[in-house]
Structure 1
């Protein structure tokens, strides 16, 4: 199944001509999607506090998690009581669950762990967003705004603000719905929501880019990174090529090793690495940290390249306007 998913991802990226054979399935997907949307919107849950969705219209990574971290930090600095919910994809539960810095990514998911480790924001996860919100508000009744990590297509939850991140490097492919293309929704959806362009040379005033930070060594942040070495680049994210491009920009020599998005690492994944030090993303690092603590003698040096989302002033100006309309002062 993983090999098939990788082949399909590559075909989407290459806009392969054979994808046209999947068009009948895309028509079925569209019909089922629109029917499900209509049914769920009729009985959608309305949270007692405003909800802001940060989501994707495409399959694969777009920079959504760093954006959420940047928004949480911005709101915290302005004394807005913000909380975050997520499906907790990749976590085994039980759900709903609170996420703390001591949680395990195998239980709550890797992206929620990354968000909480960076911001210490109140956060709960679970496939049922209403249950996640109930748990969040039970423990943090002062919450003024809830950010939903993903959930753009979760129409069982009403929302007050919708932001979607478009990675201009990947674009929208052949602009076709799944499985002929990698769109989760028809392109017409973009007319109704706030679109944040992810690119270093954006065309839109509403834009962001990811700025790499200094690599650090897992478990020993006093070590100095040696850019002259060759590293084993381990990555299990939606769009691994972005990480490889970052390493190239940092002039880091590496051998790529790609795992599926949200891969649950085991120590056996690293037995054939020829003693090369590992370099990885912050998202992957939250899971590798568990392995490193359990078996440090087998998982030796692991270097992490964190990134920060840098948003344009126009993004923050729009956010302030949208929140003021919801009577949230920033």
Structure 2
């Protein structure tokens, strides 16, 4: 997603106004689709387990994946068995498949692979999340809750709890795609609202983002960030907002000599090594599995997202009400 259009989505300027008629068409089609599910022309299907959807109404990364990881860890710490389903955006395969030890980003998508590695929870990807959910339950009948990473607008999968995630953009200029960033109009009914940024645009629960104290290499060996002082550092990020990663590294005292912002889900097939030029390369966890085949010495720096305690209290109460 180009930075120019993202900037245009923050205000109702000339570009946004030019695209506004298309937004009206988009909104009409989306409304008709929601109506079709409401009256039964299209059916939402249940997966055999309660479902929590972690999604958003704004295009681009708002922090859904870190939120899904945080929730999975929280529920597992409470003794609740969870599994995750996802579309697996950016993968080259089309089938419904479970992520296994040897799965690659091209097979399953970078974000689902990160969720599996970060939590150890079973993760299944499919274009139709209901197919993923059914395979998940078939292979892991102990699962008590299914987390759907993204899919707020994927109404074919019936859900019991909806969590809408926002970053500091809020709703941007408030218009629907393509004149604005919204996939659907806001406000809309949902169970919980969580802000992943530092400056929420409106009411909701908050969380704190921070880089881990340690980076790690492709073999899983930790390297303290403090040990990187004095090295020539370069940072690369193929995420929705690369500058946010670079800024967080700088705030941790990393003197970045070079930064390489790339499009979200970049596959690094055209990567030119920076290690050969004497750089220690830092990347996001999401990018690491795709970058390591081309830059084996790169270090992944985890992002830790911690929702406030009040959010988990509200989430636990909501899930308990569904469990009965």
Does TM, scored on the shorter chain, surpass 0.5?
A: yes
Residue 319 of structure 2 aligns to a residue whose secondary structure is: helix
Residue 300 of structure 2 aligns to a residue whose secondary structure is: strand
Is residue 73 of structure 1 aligned with residue 73 of structure 2? Answer: yes
Query: Is the contact made by 2:232 and 2:278 (CA closer than 8 Å) also made in structure 1?
Result: no
Query: Is the contact made by 2:268 and 2:291 (CA closer than 8 Å) also made in structure 1?
Result: yes
Aligned to 1:282: 285
Aligned to 1:323: 319
Residue 244 of structure 2 aligns to a residue whose secondary structure is: helix
Distance in structure 1 (CA, Å) of the matches to 2:316 and 2:54: 16
Deviations 1:11-64 (A, max 9, x none): 325764432111011111101111122224531112211110001111111111
With over 3 angstroms needed to count, the CA separation of the structure-2 counterparts of 1:222 and 1:89, relative to structure 1, is: closer
Instruction: Map 1:119-138 to 2 at 5 A.
Output: 119-138=119-138
Backbone CA RMSD of aligned residues? 2.1
Distance in structure 2 (CA, Å) of the matches to 1:45 and 1:123: 19
Is residue 314 of structure 1 aligned with residue 310 of structure 2? Answer: yes
Query: Is the contact made by 2:11 and 2:173 (CA closer than 8 Å) also made in structure 1?
Result: no
Residue 89 of structure 1 aligns to a residue whose secondary structure is: coil
Deviations 1:166-189 (A, max 9, x none): 112x23221111111111110121
Distance in structure 1 (CA, Å) of the matches to 2:135 and 2:93: 14
Aligned to 1:199: 197
Query: Is the contact made by 2:15 and 2:179 (CA closer than 8 Å) also made in structure 1?
Result: no
**For 1:233, which of 220, 232, 235 is the aligned residue?**
235
Query: Is the contact made by 1:228 and 1:252 (CA closer than 8 Å) also made in structure 2?
Result: no
Instruction: Map 1:3-82 to 2 at 5 A.
Output: 5-13=2-10, 16-41=13-38, 42=40, 43-82=43-82
Query: Is the contact made by 1:122 and 1:136 (CA closer than 8 Å) also made in structure 2?
Result: yes
Structure 1 unpaired stretches of 5+: 293-298
Distance in structure 2 (CA, Å) of the matches to 1:188 and 1:310: 25
Offset of 1:141 from its aligned partner?
A: 1.3
With over 3 angstroms needed to count, the CA separation of the structure-2 counterparts of 1:217 and 1:99, relative to structure 1, is: same
Residue 270 of structure 1 aligns to a residue whose secondary structure is: coil
Query: Is the contact made by 1:100 and 1:120 (CA closer than 8 Å) also made in structure 2?
Result: no
Offset of 1:205 from its aligned partner?
A: 6.0
Distance in structure 1 (CA, Å) of the matches to 2:10 and 2:214: 29
Structure 2 unpaired stretches of 5+: none
Offset of 1:234 from its aligned partner?
A: 1.0
Query: Is the contact made by 1:72 and 1:119 (CA closer than 8 Å) also made in structure 2?
Result: yes
Aligned to 1:242: 244
The alignment of Structure 1 onto Structure 2 pairs a total of residues equal to 315
Offset of 1:223 from its aligned partner?
A: 4.5
Query: Is the contact made by 2:48 and 2:134 (CA closer than 8 Å) also made in structure 1?
Result: no
Aligned to 1:212: 211
TM-score by length of 1: 0.88
Instruction: Map 1:135-174 to 2 at 5 A.
Output: 135-168=135-168, 170-174=169-173
Distance in structure 1 (CA, Å) of the matches to 2:37 and 2:102: 35
TM-score by length of 2: 0.90
Query: Is the contact made by 2:216 and 2:223 (CA closer than 8 Å) also made in structure 1?
Result: yes
Distance in structure 2 (CA, Å) of the matches to 1:16 and 1:277: 41
Distance in structure 2 (CA, Å) of the matches to 1:104 and 1:15: 41
Is residue 102 of structure 1 aligned with residue 78 of structure 2? Answer: no
Deviations 1:207-239 (A, max 9, x none): 112121024242352545313334222111112
Name the stretch that deviates more: 22-31 or 248-257: 248-257
